[in-house]
Amino acid sequence: MAQLILDGVVKHFGKIEALRGIDFEVQDGEFFVILGPSAAGKTTTLRAIAGLEKLDSGRIVFDGVDMAGIPVQQRGIAMVFQSFALYPHLTTEQNLAYPLREQKMARRDIKLRVQEIAEMLGITHTLTRKPASLSGGEQQRLAIGRAIIRQPELLLLDEPLTNLDAKLRHDMRAEFKRLHRELGMTMIYATPDQLEALSMGERVGVIIDGKIVQIDTPADLYDAPYDRDVARLVGDPPMNLIPGTVRRNGGGPSLELPFLHVPEADLRNSLAPFEAGTELIFGVHPQDLKLATNGETEASFDAEIAITEPQGDITILDLKAASEVLQMVVPEAEGALHGAGEEIRVRFNPRDGRLFLKDSGVLVV
């Protein structure tokens, strides 16, 4: 059992509060992703788990044991650093063997194990070379190899793909999933990239300003972000957030958006708890906006195309509707028919939208 519990973990660097009470649990064998913008505390969280940072308060419990007094060397945790942190003066072979040598493993066994890991990661041809002469992808594989070679119970990965090019990132995402399946070890993966988080994580914890604000499955995270900040982080492009005001004139309550009036009956949530004049935020994914054809029954509004961003299979349209800037995603074939400056009509089902409170930014449920 390699269950990990973080309970109210606080860490300061001088006057800066890096972690402001981190709580989460990771189950044995789970692939847990920590998603957050840069400087949110992802790296500090991982370093705290590894034992490289002293906690100011809170507990980290691993395998039922409080880690407080246990030095880094004895935690049985491995880590892949963002910079890879390879030993520059050692060859690939020596880099891989290093953790095993520290465990006083027999020389023969080390050789076998190094060979095995090198084959698994496809870096056998680099064994006698030093890190500086390896490509980015090879360095990355070496960093992973060095971390998994002693079969740790828990593997921490700190933005391991940030330093790689786009093609390699895609391959490595699949590689990580495969490794996780094959090795069955618990993994905690920190990333600022929502795509990595959604595609790899079994559960995703979103960290913002040193606090975990939401822990959910990727689907739930995308569907029902806890607040405005999470909504801005998840999805590509992220959710459109449109200011709205609750109106109660005659025929039942409704939500007034700058470019559209939406009756309560069309919305997912009831507007009953809100007084007239309450300001809310209406969030809708760019993928849920469609180009309108004639005779549609859904809500629709006029917008002007500001920029078109063709991406091959899809096109992202940047729209201006009233005073609002919105984004929508259309298939390439449709996008090709329209250009910047053109007026179009956009439809959507208001039921796909989500409401957030204006002040706290929290999702209305």
Partner 1 sequence: MARRREIGKAGWRRTAVMAVISFIYFFPVLWIILTAFKSHTDALATPPKFLFTPTLENFVGVFSRTYQRGGEAIDTKFDLFFFNSIFIAGTSVLIALIIGTLAAYAFSRWPLKGNDLYMFIILTTRMLPPIIVIIPIFLMFRVTGLSGSYVGIILLYTAFNLPFTIWMMKSFFDEIPTEVEDAARVDGSSETKIFFKICLPQVKAGIAATAVFGLILTWNEYLFALLLTGIDTRTVPVAMASTIGGDIGVRWGLLAAIETLFLIPVVLVTFLLQNQLLRGVTFGTIKR
The window from 80-88, 211-219, 259-267, 273-281 that contacts partner 1 (CB under 8 A) reads 80-88
Amino acid at 72: V
Phi and psi torsions of 272, nearest 5°: -55, -40
Nearer to partner 1, 74 or 217 (CB): 74
Nearer to partner 1, 79 or 215 (CB): 79
> Using CA atoms, how far apart are residues 49 and 77, in angstroms rounded to an integer?
8
Judging by DSSP bridges, how do beta strands 279-284 and 211-216 pair with one another?
unpaired
Whose tokens are 């975990």? That residue is: 212
**309 is a site residue for partner 1 (CB under 8 A):** no
The window from 45-53, 113-121, 255-263, 313-321 that contacts partner 1 (CB under 8 A) reads 45-53
**102 is a site residue for partner 1 (CB under 8 A):** yes
**146 is a site residue for partner 1 (CB under 8 A):** yes
> Using CA atoms, how far apart are residues 267 and 105, in angstroms rounded to an integer?
64
Among 1, 65, 85, 174, binds partner 1 (CB under 8 A): 85
Is the Cβ–Cβ distance between 152 and 117 less than 8 Å?
no
Nearer to partner 1, 35 or 86 (CB): 86
**81 is a site residue for partner 1 (CB under 8 A):** yes
Q: How far is the CB of 131 from partner 1 (least distance, A)?
A: 10
**47 is a site residue for partner 1 (CB under 8 A):** yes
Nearer to partner 1, 27 or 133 (CB): 133
User: Residue 115, Cα to own-chain centre: how many angstroms?
Assistant: 33
**144 is a site residue for partner 1 (CB under 8 A):** no
Return the number of other C-beta atoms located less than 10 Å from residue 256's C-beta. 16
Among 103, 217, 249, 311, binds partner 1 (CB under 8 A): 103
| Three-state secondary structure call for residue 14 | coil
Nearer to partner 1, 165 or 332 (CB): 165
Among 38, 73, 294, 323, binds partner 1 (CB under 8 A): 73
Buried b / exposed e across 5-27, counting CB within 10 Å, b at 16+?
bbeebbbeeeeebbbebbebebe
**133 is a site residue for partner 1 (CB under 8 A):** yes
**78 is a site residue for partner 1 (CB under 8 A):** yes
| Strands lying side by side in the sheet with 65-66 | 16-26, 4-13, 57-62, 65-66
Q: How far is the CB of 46 from partner 1 (least distance, A)?
A: 10
| Three-state secondary structure call for residue 345 | strand
**249 is a site residue for partner 1 (CB under 8 A):** no
Residue 149's nearest CA partner among 103, 200, 91 is: 103
> Using CA atoms, how far apart are residues 33 and 149, in angstroms rounded to an integer?
22
**198 is a site residue for partner 1 (CB under 8 A):** no
Tokens of 347: 């439809």
**52 is a site residue for partner 1 (CB under 8 A):** yes
Is the Cβ–Cβ distance between 145 and 100 less than 8 Å?
no
Is the Cβ–Cβ distance between 98 and 105 less than 8 Å?
no
Q: Could you tell me the CA-to-CA distances from 353 to 39, 75, 238, 360 in Å, in that order?
A: 30, 46, 13, 18
Q: How far is the CB of 199 from partner 1 (least distance, A)?
A: 26
Among 1, 39, 72, 174, binds partner 1 (CB under 8 A): 72
Nearer to partner 1, 99 or 361 (CB): 99
Among 64, 69, 88, 295, binds partner 1 (CB under 8 A): 88
Note the residue count of the chain. 365
Residue 172's nearest CA partner among 184, 183, 162 is: 162
**42 is a site residue for partner 1 (CB under 8 A):** no
Q: At what angle do helices 107-121 and 136-148 cross, to 10 degrees?
A: 140
The window from 84-92, 201-209, 237-245, 249-257 that contacts partner 1 (CB under 8 A) reads 84-92
Nearer to partner 1, 95 or 254 (CB): 95
Among 14, 16, 107, 132, binds partner 1 (CB under 8 A): 132
**63 is a site residue for partner 1 (CB under 8 A):** no
Interface contacts to partner 1, rule CB under 8 A: 47, 50, 52, 72-74, 77-79, 81-83, 85-89, 98-99, 102-103, 132-133, 146
